[in-house]
Amino acid sequence: MVELKALTIINEEWGEGEDDFIVFLQIDIGEITIDAPSDLFTINVVSPRRLSKILKESEIEIGHGYFIMNDFNFSIIERKILRIIEISQNKSYEKSICILSKYFRNTNE
């Protein structure tokens, strides 16, 4: 079984309005029975307005590891991450990490 060990804002960029942002998060996920080390994942939380600006600079942006939301709300993000962890539970730690890698970018690979 896996659990969220830590959720950390690594960097954030804000534009002119509250609807123009990208926030880079690190997610530490590990086994419930072990205090240390954990697998590290990242996600980018991006607003539609900022995503539009990103797409003007590049022709395509692959959506793996992105959460898209109109208003940045850390509590909503944390609840969504906890829900994803919950539905990704498996008897095998490695299988759980593999499932989580479908949603988040695994920095340990």
Q: In order along the chain (109 residues), what is the average pLDDT of each group of 10 residues?
A: 95 95 97 86 97 91 92 98 96 94 87
Tokens matching residue 80: 């969504």
Q: What is the pLDDT of residue 109?
A: 61
The whole-angstrom separation of Cα 33 and Cα 65 is: 27
Q: What is the pLDDT of residue 70?
A: 97
Cα pseudo-dihedral 71, 11, 62, 42, rounded to 10: -100
Contact 39, 97 (CB under 8 A): yes
Q: What is the pLDDT of residue 18?
A: 92
